Structure 1
Amino acid sequence: MGHTAVVVGAGIGGLAAAIGLSRVGWEVTVVDRTPELADAGAGISLAANGIHALDALGPGAAVRAAGRGQYTGGTRTPRGAWLARMDGAALERALGSPIVGIPRAELHRLLRAALPTGALRVGVTATAATTLRGGGARVECRTGSEPLEADLVVAADGVGSRLRSSLFPGHPGPVHCGSTVLRAVTERPLDLRTDFEITWGRGAEFGHIAFADGRAEWHAVLNAPAGVRHEDPLGVLRRRFAGWHAPIPELLAATRPEAVLHHDVAELATPLPSFVSGRVALLGDAAHAMTPNLGQGACQALEDAVVLAAALDREPGVDAALARYDAERRPRTTAVAAAARQAGRLGQQLTHPVAVPLRNALMRLTPSAVSVRMILRHAAWTPPLTSPFAGE
């Protein structure tokens, strides 16, 4: 088709969208408000659908090589008893890829390396997007930057998307889900016995992802109102998780205080009426921010990128392609977001003294084959059959 696009946001979804568009012949510019991309972040688990999307886009092999497959682990109680074991080999047989754990910074670097030279511009703050009467779209920028015009604008500017607000001013926007998350990557390698674990207490979760270099990402999710911050977050976590099983104390001890990131968890609890407005397409968290309880947020953004590029390559015009993108992506992401919300309510957020042991008993009684099928519901996805990437 050979058009121009501006992608707003250089996160996982925005970079993936730019890669996909460039591979189908579009000239792409990516803008991000950050003056310098510092590769901040902790870690991420990419399920098979995310890996297959990366395969379609190109960087899949590099991500596999830099990551660590998750074959062992599961869900535990604070005392260390197993509620459910991970059967990573069964998932790989069923889906064609293991779940892969990788530092976010490394994933970002690999995605940026796949961009066309000169495509990324930092320090540009987009404030609004409009569709032009004669075709195409315009991105308005903060004072000091000229507006940007292109045949298509992709709004990938995250859960707090300014572009979404300008396009859907009546939408309530993101809401706090009742949880806050603290996370970090350890300073040094640890001798971990599993690739991935989560532990559920009452109103709290602690988990870790092991990396290929022996370090690990850990996260602690707590029921808390929005805006609560701590002067000594590691001290707070050591007290909150005192007495919880190994390797939780070891993970906290291997972390520098300044490495701890703290974010409230927000979601778009009210689905958008469309992922498209004129010549602007919303993608990733800007379109369907969801809670992290299924680990599907980034994977859904990667799926978005592949479907958008394939539609733009195969449909006879941009408007038809955007209609196809919306029709394919909105039902799936809405269903995954609802499932993630429910998983949080039955997992980390659960506090009732009767409900917690009942949930634990049911998890212990659930056969592993049933657990695998539950994961397959969301991770069993392959790129569109009409994808221009097929067979590459």
Structure 2
Amino acid sequence: MRSQDHDRIYLSPPHLGRHELNYLHKAIEDNWVAPAGPNLTGFERDICEFTGAAHCVALTSGTAAIHLGLKLLGVGPGDEVLCPSFTFVATANPIVYLGASPVFIDSEAETWNLCPVRLREAIEDRIRRGQRPKALIIVHLYGMPCKLREILAIAAEFDIPLLEDAAEALGSRYDGQPLGTFGAVGVFSFNGNKILTTSGGGALVTNNADWDKKARFWATQAKDPAPYYQHSEIGYNYRLSNLLAGIGRGQMELLEDRVKRRREIYNWYQEHLNGLPGLSFGPTEPAGGRSNRWLTCVLLRPSETAVTPEQLRLHLETHNIESRPLWKPLHLQPLFAAAPMYGGAVCTNLFEQGLCLPSGTAMTDTDLKRVADAVKEMATASYN
């Protein structure tokens, strides 16, 4: 059966229910459609209750949250910010927005996140060069907790503030504590492909009341407290709308179910695809870590199979199935060609060998079987 015979299976489409409509209808009935209103304050309260963070500012994107978070940490022109290379470009772009420069660090092979050994190497080398890093961004890639115990200890040793990019990791935990709450600032994304979506959107969380107030100020064009429009600082149009926050409130009611289903999908793939030549699953949960398994990822080891990730991706397309390569490391991007990089072999190999399989929570067992059968078909064909 080829593509024309089946509906498309997407990588990670939105999964909406009836809950969201209740909040949307109420917002429209009450004429609350601006970036203010009961849904917005309620959504922020929901996130605080779920994560345990003291404060939450709902914003137009996770990128906006990283931008404001770095400003709160005092990042500015001429500074350097430590950042994993193996992540989406939105993690690093706000560093450049602020006139600072990223310093990229390789992954470790278990969680695929920032390597503590390379982190220490980078910090010590930058200090020797007279450039003490201003901040550290960590990312919980594909919802997988990084090795927080080791990383937090290093950040504390060198007194470097931490911004926690949990854009893909809402619902994941480490030692029972929700991700996004370990750093001075935490960030979530609610883009359309995330485990919780508001169409577009994001959030900044912190336990610092002054930072909460400052982020809100910047996010609403930095309007001074005056009866007229007066501005003493540069501000941004970053606040989430009350309508989109309503979608988020409905989604929050289902978040634990969504995490449960993503983990079930990962386990289903493992059960039905284990044993295929050269194919393995990752990343691996660290001790104390529990991933939301936002996307199921596989590696194809070239020493054990002739099938490449790109060949498998194209083969899945013939079955009308969307898949996607793992993130291309930022140190390999033309945009950041001149940026310092510590290590590189691990994340480069992951990019060259990896593929994300469809992982949407609305997938049925029939959908999963379609994907698995197509993967097996390609694996079998490579030996004919």
Same fold per superposition (TM over 0.5): no
Normalised by the length of structure 1, the TM-score is: 0.26
The structure richer in strand per residue is 1
